């Protein structure tokens, strides 16, 4: 008796691209196409009804996008693994999809064999990410970890150091040979970035976030 084939629902709003995907899945001995949809609402309805092993979803679709369908599947605890494909793999999108519970994220330029292999792997409970997507994910994780620390230009760091020394705006202007108006403008930007309203709070926040020792 042959092993059971993994059931798959495909959703993509572009009929030509979707046809290519469904044809490729139809040729696979280990996958069975059980439904298809041209928008996010229809996709979610089909997935709720058929409870496939895997949903292969385009990210950009009318109605609900792929990420929203993924969120609904996760929230409703449906037994369906999600593989997302996108023509446009923005880093934070990759992060949101994986953080939201997707088993895989692929660029739409991926070969159909690779897409079908990834769908089959998702049906087995595996998570697969191509190298370029891994890189994007790592960058996003690092970016999110670093985003708590305000980023200052070298000039702003200089000005910050001088207010920590207790220098007044005119003193700073003289030392840096800048106009007082320019220093004032640097100070305002510094306050904006640190989310403070005065010099003492700027120094305190800078020390707390590691910008000053």
Partner 1 sequence: MTVQTPETADIGGLLERLSRETDIGVALLDAGARFLYANDAMAALHGVAPDEVAGRALEDVPSLITSDAVARAAREGAPFHVAASTGDGRAWDVRYVPMDDGSGRTVGVIARDITEREAAAEALERLALQRRQLVKASLEAAERERGRVADDLHDDVLQRLLFAHQECASLPDARTDPALRRAIDAIEDVTHRLRAVVDDLHPVTLASTSIHSAIHALAHDYAARGPFSVQVQLHDDLRSGHDLFVLSALRELLGNVAKHAPGAEVGVLVAPVGGDLVIEVADDGPGFDAATIDGHVGLAGLFARVEGSGGRAELQSSADGTRIRLALPLD
Is 24 a binding residue for partner 1 by CB under 8 A? The answer is yes
Q: Least CB distance from residue 93 to partner 1, whole Å?
A: 5
CB neighbours of residue 1 within 10 Å: 3
Here's the x/- map for partner 1, 75-94, by CB under 8 A: it reads as -----------xxx-xxxx-
- Say if residues 132 and 108 touch (Cβ distance below 8 Å): no
Residue 124 per-residue DSSP state = T
Q: Which stretch binds partner 1 (CB under 8 A): 75-83, 123-131, 175-183, 204-212?
A: 175-183
84: DSSP letter: E
User: What residues between 56 and 75 interact with partner 1 by CB under 8 A?
Assistant: 59-60, 65-67
Q: How far is the CB of 52 from partner 1 (least distance, A)?
A: 22
State the angle between helix axes of 199-208 and 180-194 in degrees (0 to 180), rounded to the nearest 10.
Answer: 50
Does position 179 interact with partner 1 (CB under 8 A)? The reply is: yes
Q: Does 36 bind partner 1 (CB under 8 A)?
A: no
Q: Which is nearer to partner 1, 4 or 143 (CB)?
A: 143
Ordered DSSP codes for 159-208: HHHHHHTT--HHHHHHHTT--HHHHHHHHHHHHHHHT-SSHHHHHHHHHH
Among 164, 178, 196, 212, binds partner 1 (CB under 8 A): 178
């Amino acid at each position: 008796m042959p092993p059971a084939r993994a059931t798959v629902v495909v959703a993509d709003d572009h009929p030509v691209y979707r046809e290519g995907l469904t044809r490729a899945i139809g040729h696979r001995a280990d996958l069975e196409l059980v439904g298809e949809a041209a928008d996010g609402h229809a996709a979610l309805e089909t997935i709720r009804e058929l409870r496939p092993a895997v949903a292969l979803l385009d990210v950009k679709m009318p109605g609900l996008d792929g990420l929203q369908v993924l969120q609904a599947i996760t929230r409703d605890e449906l037994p369906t693994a999600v593989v997302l494909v996108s023509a446009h793999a923005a880093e934070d999108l990759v992060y949101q999809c994986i953080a939201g519970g997707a088993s895989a994220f692929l660029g739409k330029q991926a070969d159909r064999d690779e897409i079908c292999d990834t769908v089959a792997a998702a049906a087995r409970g595996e998570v697969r990410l191509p190298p370029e997507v891994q890189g994007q994910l790592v960058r996003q994780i690092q970016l999110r970890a670093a985003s708590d620390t305000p980023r200052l230009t070298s000039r702003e760091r200089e000005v910050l150091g001088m207010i920590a020394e207790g220098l007044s705006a005119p003193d700073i202007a003289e030392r840096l040979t800048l106009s007082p108006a320019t220093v004032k403008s640097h100070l305002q930007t510094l306050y904006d970035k640190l989310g403070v309203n005065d010099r003492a709070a700027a120094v305190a926040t800078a020390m707390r976030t590691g910008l000053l020792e």
